[in-house]
Amino acid sequence: MNEILGYIIGETTNTELSFLSLGMPEIGGYVLIKYENKNILGMVESVVQGCPVFDEVLSVNDLIKLKNLENEDSYYIMGKIKVLGDIENKEIPRVPPKPGTEVYIADDDSLKNMFSDGHLKIGKLISREVPVCLDVNKLCSRHLAILAITGMGKSNTVSVLLSELNKLNGTVVVFDVHGEYKEIKSNNSNNILNTHNVEPQINIFNISSSALCDLAGVDAQATKQRPYINKAIKSVKKQYKEVDFNSAEDYVNSIIFELESYIEINKRDAESIQTAIFRLEDMLQFKNHIIRLHYNPIEEIKDGHINILPLDGLDENDMDIIISYFSKEILKNRKKSFRNNEPKPVFLIFEEAHLIVPQNRNTKSKYYISRIAREGRKFGVGICLVSQRPKTLDQESLSQCNNLIISKLIEPSDQSHVQHASENLSEDLLKQLPSLNIGEAVIIGPCLKIPAIVKIDKFDGEYKGEDIDIVNIWKNNYNNENNEKRLYSEDMYGDL
């Protein structure tokens, strides 16, 4: 038998209700309303507590006198309920309940029916010991965004996702901007992570002349250098194929050789051509670790593994080129696989998404990630955008992420940006975001039947995204330095 929490009051609608509560309900708690032979689930979105005795009091002395006369019966508790749907049919009821209808505390079985039948366990309801499991088919096909301010558990959430996807033998590619996951490991012997680190390299023969110029550091406004490099590349590719070169260095040197031949013919532009040559030579010297020939990134991605692409140590420009290159090749490959009736679903996780898919400027990655966001679900390519700065994240790409895991967001501009991108984020849920604690999140979207406020599981393993213990590091460094000084002093003066 369900416990009565309170009674519906005032005017009712089929989506929102007010109620008088017998006790103090938890915000985010779940309730049942039974009427017309249906069990309707709702969530407590806000609560207020009042006392008519104090409503018109304007004097502190009068308030103190009245406070001595107060009793528990003087107070009332009112709440607002968001109607989530019929437990059986998962539909919003067409008819609202009558005022005076009982509001019950939802039982665990009803909640498990709504929240616990997905493929991937992400955590538990914040107010109950009820597992929250996500539908992976809808998570990947309808895309995902993980948003929160720094230090609120984004990396832990990603790690939990990786661990759970690993159980499903999922193929995942993580574009790891800060190298947080390249040494990720699980402490659970029953779920050893199948990880595979992929070198961040590109086939320089297969990228556009514009991307090659970017990689070489040729300024976008260099209206002479870029056309000459483009002309040289076209000439080289007209004469040779990729198999004709032994290495990336051979290919770039052939472009340089072609450019050198232009100097005598175009003496007025000799300085610009020579600068273009210097840029290509610098690229060979300083970026030889990321350029390759006879290289196919698709062959580096292992199916059924968590593929980590560590991008730490690269500047933003090189990172953008590599991410766009991998994204383009993955989408092209999955389209081909789908046409051959050999689908190979893959889930792409983009850390620091605001850097590579920014709102107010174009990047090479933005173009291909936006394409995947629009087209990917038809070919089994899902994306996850992870960011602590939602307001600087491209709103069009964000709006394609129908699933959201949102932890604490304080800035109104961040909240507004997310709400504009998602029709499912109600005003009342938005109000909960500043009050969330570390590891707590609002989850909405097709991956979950109804919105939920969730305590995300703690990842049982190790990764590099956790906060460092600054005080202990200072202490250890100080002790080590003093020990070295002491040993040095003993060595120097010990025999005196």
- DSSP for 247-298 reads SHHHHHHHHHHHHHHHHHH-GGGHHHHHHHHHHHHHHHHHSTTTEESS--HH
Quote the mean pLDDT of the chain.
87
Nearest to 453 by CA among 34, 150, 198, 123: 123
- DSSP for 186-199 reads ES-TTS---EEE--
Class of domain 120-199+296-462 (CATH, top level): alpha beta
CB 151 within 8 A of CB 279: no
The two beta strands, 452-456 and 172-176, are: unpaired
pLDDT at 27: 80
Residue 58: which pLDDT band, with cuts at 50, 70 and 90? Answer: low
pLDDT at 23: 87
Domain ranges of the chain: 4-106, 120-199+296-462, 209-291
- pLDDT tens-place string over residues 170-201: 999 999 999 999 899 988 888 889 999 999 99
Residues 272 and 74: their CA atoms lie apart, in Å, by 84
DSSP, collapsed to helix, strand or coil, labels residue 305 as: coil
CB 400 within 8 A of CB 374: yes
Rounded mean pLDDT, 222-229: 92
Rounded alpha-carbon distances, angstroms, from residue 393 to 309, 354, 357: 21, 5, 6
- pLDDT tens-place string over residues 375-417: 998 999 999 999 988 888 888 888 899 999 988 777 777 777 7
For residue 487, pLDDT over 80 is answered with no
For residue 495, pLDDT over 80 is answered with no
Percent of the chain with pLDDT over 90: 53
Residue 337: which pLDDT band, with cuts at 50, 70 and 90? Answer: very high
All residues at 6 or more sequence positions from 254 whose CB lies less than 8 Å from its CB, including other chains: 236, 240, 245
Beta-carbon-side half-sphere exposure of residue 89 (alpha carbons within 13 Å): 9
Q: Higher model confidence: residue 357 or residue 479?
A: 357
pLDDT at 229: 95
Residues 188 and 160: their CA atoms lie apart, in Å, by 12
This prediction's pTM: 0.85
For the chain, counts of helices (H) and of strands (E): 16, 21
CB 87 within 8 A of CB 114: yes
455 beta partners: 124, 440
The two beta strands, 440-444 and 452-456, are: antiparallel
